[in-house]
Structure 1
Amino acid sequence: MSRPREFDFDKVLHQLMLTFWTKGYKGTSLEDLIAASKLKKQSLYGAYGDKHTLFLKTLQLYRIQTLEQMRELLNREDSAAKALELWKSSLLTPSDCYPKGCFIVNVALEFGTDDLEVKTEIEAMFKESENLLEEVIVRGQIQNEISKNFPASIIAKSLANTQHGLRILVKAGEENQKIKDLLDYAINSILIVSPN
């Protein structure tokens, strides 16, 4: 019979996610993972698997947490225009709790299409975030707040790509005002009415 764990599995996984986020997959050593988890090698691998399996678990954790936060944010307002303003504000407000940029975008840039399992996680994150944005766009088109010149799926994909691109600019140190200008353009170009 195995001994019960003497650590919080999810809390440690979160710390390991931050390590991969900061250093990248290839830049993260076993020593980094041991230091972040405060576990011995055997305990670390026993709980989470090898480095690759552990990395996939951190991607899944990030996807679940991020999409949950995004869903809550986008459904906070009945007005789609106001929901998009909240989305914009969230992208402009850096978190002190997380490294710069977006973990999944960083991973996409690091891996490209070289690893099928990682690629699957990246695609799932991108598709699910597009789906959440599409729900808002459909709502806005029904409310006559958002243009019907393009299908909701195309508008959502455009907004999601704007978000991913901006995360790269943030990581590269772009000024917040320029990021805001790009977001204003992306949102205002699809609105029929002002969110105010």
Structure 2
Amino acid sequence: MARSKEFEEIEVLDKAVQLFWEQGYEKTSIADLVEHMGIHRRSLYDTFGDKQALYMQAMNRYGQTINTTLEYRIKGSETAREAMESIFDFMIEDLDSAPAGCMYVNTAVELGLRDNAANEMTTKGFIRTEQLLARIIRQGQVAGEFATSRDADELAELLHNALIGIRVWKRTSADLKKLHRIAKLSMEILDR
């Protein structure tokens, strides 16, 4: 008779996300995962596969969580400018309870082109963020909030780069005033 699972997959996957996000892929051992997730080694392998497969699932879960949060913040904004400011504020302040930085950025730096699956996942995540930013920019341009002299997709790439920089700075002891100043100056490109 097969034993029933004694854990919720999403709950333990979120614990894996937290650990991988905090420590990175290479520093995190199976023993670390078993302890942090609170499941048996056999359950980890039976449910998630090997460490690489678990990492990809954790990356996917991270992306879903961040995208859901960003969409929620955007829908709660009355203007495109407010939506963009909300995204910058989220990256600067609201992630204080989470590990430092961005799991996608951390993965790109740690694994880069050495791991095709991780590279593909981070690239797709970056593209989704740029598409989201471009959508906000287009809305702002149509509403007359943002200048139309520049292409929304190119502006999104530039603002995404600023967001990545902010997330890297969050891995240091950077002053929040500095990060807000970077955000404010970055957004000024929308008015030119």
- TM-score calculated relative to the size of structure 2: 0.95
What's 1:169 paired with?
169
Amino acid in the other structure paired with 1:76? G
Amino acid in the other structure paired with 1:86? S
Question: Runs of 5+ in structure 2 lacking a partner?
Answer: none
Equivalences for 1:85-124 in 2 at 5 Å? 85-124=85-124
SS of structure 1 residue aligned to 2:141: helix
What's 2:191 paired with?
191
Amino acid in the other structure paired with 1:177? K
CA contact (8 A) 2:134 2:152 kept: yes
SS of structure 1 residue aligned to 2:28: coil
Amino acid in the other structure paired with 1:72? Y
Amino acid in the other structure paired with 1:87? I
CA contact (8 A) 2:92 2:176 kept: yes
Structure 1 moving runs of 4+ over 4 Å: none
Task: Report the CA distance between 1:6 and its aligned residue.
Answer: 1.2
Task: Report the CA distance between 1:103 and its aligned residue.
Answer: 1.1
Task: Report the CA distance between 1:77 and its aligned residue.
Answer: 2.0
CA–CA distance in structure 2, aligned partners of residues 65 and 31 of structure 1: 25
CA–CA distance in structure 1, aligned partners of residues 121 and 42 of structure 2: 26
What's 1:40 paired with?
40
Percentage of matched positions with identical amino acids: 26
SS of structure 1 residue aligned to 2:119: helix
- Kindly indicate whether residue 103 of structure 2 is the aligned counterpart of residue 141 of structure 1: no
- TM-score calculated relative to the size of structure 1: 0.93
CA–CA distance in structure 2, aligned partners of residues 103 and 147 of structure 1: 32
Task: Report the CA distance between 1:97 and its aligned residue.
Answer: 3.1
SS of structure 1 residue aligned to 2:113: coil
What's 1:159 paired with?
159
What's 1:28 paired with?
28
Higher normalized helix content (fraction of residues): 2
Question: Runs of 5+ in structure 1 lacking a partner?
Answer: none
In the alignment of these two chains, the number of paired residues is 192
CA contact (8 A) 1:14 1:58 kept: yes
CA contact (8 A) 1:81 1:191 kept: no
What's 1:128 paired with?
128
CA–CA distance in structure 1, aligned partners of residues 88 and 39 of structure 2: 39
Task: Report the CA distance between 1:96 and its aligned residue.
Answer: 4.4
Query: Deviation per CA, 1:90-120, whole angstroms, max 9, x where unpaired?
Result: 1221434311111111111001111111111
SS of structure 2 residue aligned to 1:117: helix
CA contact (8 A) 2:22 2:99 kept: yes
SS of structure 2 residue aligned to 1:189: helix
Task: Report the CA distance between 1:63 and its aligned residue.
Answer: 0.6
Task: Report the CA distance between 1:2 and its aligned residue.
Answer: 3.8
What's 2:12 paired with?
12
Q: CA RMSD in A?
A: 1.4
CA–CA distance in structure 1, aligned partners of residues 182 and 68 of structure 2: 25
Query: Deviation per CA, 1:119-140, whole angstroms, max 9, x where unpaired?
Result: 1110111011111111100000
